Structure formats: C-alpha cells, structure tokens
Amino acid sequence: MKVLVATEKPFAAVAVDGIRKVIAESGYELQLLEKYSSKADLLGAVADADAVIIRSDVIDAEVLDAAKRLRIVVRAGAGYDNVDLAAATAHGVVVENTPGQNSNAVAELVFGMAVMAVRNMYNGTSGTEMKGKRLGLQAYGQVGRNVARIAKGVGMEVSAYDPYCPDDVMVADGIKPVHSVEELYAGNDFVSIHIPATPETKKSIGFDLITKMPKGGVLINTARKEVIDEEGLDKALEARADLKYVADVKPDSAEELKARFGDRVFFTPKKMGAQTAEANINAGIAAARQVVDYLRDGINKYQVNK
Ligand code: NAD
C-alpha cells in the first residue's frame, strides 16, 4: 500500500525521518511529494495512493476524483478547512486531523503576541502587565486549554466561552465558564480566539462584539482569518483608539489596517502558530501513526467526517 506525503510546505527533515520510520515498520511504501508547484503534480501523485498525509494542502473534489484507491487523508495539524469533507465522504474517504499536536506551540505564540501588544510593540514606551488581568478564551479546545494553562501561571483570571464544552470541564481546570460570546468580550481585557472556521463562525466577530471590550482591550487571533468580519474590525479600531488586534492569521486587508492603525495591529508575515520543530515532528509522526492504525486496524478515532 502506498502512503503519499504531499506537502507544498514540507515537514522538517527530522519529521520526515519519523514518518518514514513509522511507514517502513508497517510494511507500507512511502512517496514524498514536497514543494510541488502545480496541482497537476498532486493529481498525478494521488492516482495510486491508498493514504495521503497533508499539511495546508488543498484536497478538493478534483483531487478526490483523481485518487482512485484513496481510503484516508490525514491533515497533520488541527484545522481541516483545506479538505472538502462532503466530497471526501461522497468518495468514501476518511478524513482525520491530528488534534493537540501543535496546540502548545500556538498557545505560546498567543503569549508572545499578547506581551508584544501590551508593551507597545517594544517601541520604548511604558506598557502594562498581564498578571492580574482578565483573559477570555473564545473556545475551550486543545489550543484554548494550553493558553489557559499558561495564563494561570502568568497570574491571569481566565474564563472561556464554548457552547460545546461542558462547564464542569472548565471548572475542573479552574476556568470560569461564560455563557454568551457578548459576555466574554465585555468582561475581559484580553480575548483570545480559538474557534474553528465553520459556516456558523465565519465573519462572526465584528464591530458589535469587538467594541464590547473594556478600555485597552487586546484581541488575539491565532485561529482563522475567516472568523473576523474585517470591515467591522476596521470600524471598531477606528471608533476605539484604545483597542489592539494581533493575529497569526493575516487579514485580507492587512496592509490597509497596518497603514491606518500602525502599532495597534500586528500580523505575522505568514501563519507561524504551529511552526516549531516540536509541533512539526509531533503532527507528522501522529499523522503517520493514524494512517497505519486505519489501514491496518480500521481505527478511525480522529475521523472528522463521520
Ligand atoms: P479544537 O477542535 O481542539 O477546539 C475547537 C473548539 O472550538 C472546540 O472545543 C469546540 O467546541 C469549540 N467551538 C466550536 N464552535 C464554537 C463556537 N461557535 N463558539 C465557541 N466555541 C466553539 O481545535 P484547536 O486545536 O483548539 O484549534 C482551534 C483553532 O485554531 C482552529 O481554528 C485551528 O484551525 C486554529 N489553529 C491555528 C494554528 C496556527 O498555526 N495559527 C494552529 C493550530 C490550530
């Protein structure tokens, strides 16, 4: 059986070595398609693959049509909005992600960006501290939980809004459950966004929510740019000169926002949350193990298109 690793942006060499070892031990064949420059290369490589491991690579209906033997796609990472789930289901292909493998990396970046924001982008002026401040987590999933762990160490008061997470899970972690998104924004000095991009969440964060934040509020987005209503964000930053927005998911209007709001906004040049050696290795190897578990034993614990 052939396992294709199709990565326009390749894994670190040490991660590829780990993947190679897992696949070799299972007796399967590994094919690497790295830094491919055209979709035709991907269409050709998937033709005889039984499994595909990807990163941010797009798996759409055309790729699935070309992949006649494909049984499983594993997205090494958390977000899987680059895979057409409906088309995969229609083709009988299992789609999995590798939850939790990069969440500490993303959580640490949240703090890197938050400190930078409250220290005025290190411009030499006096800033504020995070200890004793209120942090609201919009979603209490893998990343949110890691942010909470670090925030407690920093001495912050942490609350979270996640309608799909039972209150007792948060309470057990010492986190205050909040039951509306409006309450989350109104009651926190920092709000950190950790929701997936879904039809329900896309463009759901705009002027009304952002301007609910108290004076000096800092909004941090390491989730997806699509969850922001960019026009609303622009208006909110215009109306409230005390607010800041820092993101690892660059908005489409990044240049305009930067020109208009200067040091009150910050965007990483490209998505960097999961860009650590540890996360890269963890996610790649987890993906290889999940492929083997499924092809050999039918285990589909992390299937996202059930
Ligand atoms: P996760 O699946 O573990 O958690 C997502 C959480 O969102 C779940 O607890 C779910 O109940 C909750 N949720 C869903 N809809 C919600 C809503 N409308 N309101 C509040 N909560 C809601 O995912 P994760 O690993 O924590 O990742 C979170 C986000 O971060 C995803 O969008 C992912 O794509 C993104 N991410 C970005 C990077 C990066 O490099 N910047 C890396 C990893 C993950």
pTM of the model: 0.87
Q: Is 282 domain-assigned?
A: yes
ipTM given for this complex: 0.99
C-alpha of residue 235 to centroid of ligand 1, in Å: 26
Whether 6 has a pLDDT exceeding 90, the answer reads: yes
Q: Would residue 130 count as lying in a domain? A: yes
201 in any annotated domain:
yes
Q: Which atom of ligand 1 is nearest to the CA of 249?
A: 41
Tokens of 104: 């500490």
Cα-based distances in Å from 99 to 79, 96, 138, 257: 9, 9, 18, 32
In a domain, 221, yes or no: yes
Q: pLDDT at residue 79 above 90?
A: no
* Assigned domain for 306 exists: no
User: Residue 113 and residue 108: Cα distance in Å, rounded?
Assistant: 9
In a domain, 305, yes or no: no
Q: pLDDT, tens digit, for every residue of 92-125?
A: 999 999 999 999 999 999 999 999 999 999 999 9
* Among protein residues, the one whose CA lies closest to atom 15 of ligand 1: 195
Number of domains in the chain: 2
- CA 167 to ligand 1 centroid distance, Å: 17
The amino acid sitting at 247 is: A
Confidence of residue 78 (pLDDT cuts 50, 70, 90): confident
pLDDT value, residue 110: 98
Note whether residue 17 is domain-resident. yes
Cα 262 to Cα 223: distance, rounded to the nearest angstrom: 22
Nearest protein Cα to ligand 1, atom 12: 139
What's the CA-to-centroid distance between 144 and ligand 1, angstroms? 8
Give 27 Cα–ligand 1 centroid separation in angstroms: 34
Residue 36 within a domain: yes
What is the domain extent for residue 72? Answer: 2-101+276-297
**C-beta of 280 in contact with ligand 1 (< 6 A):** no
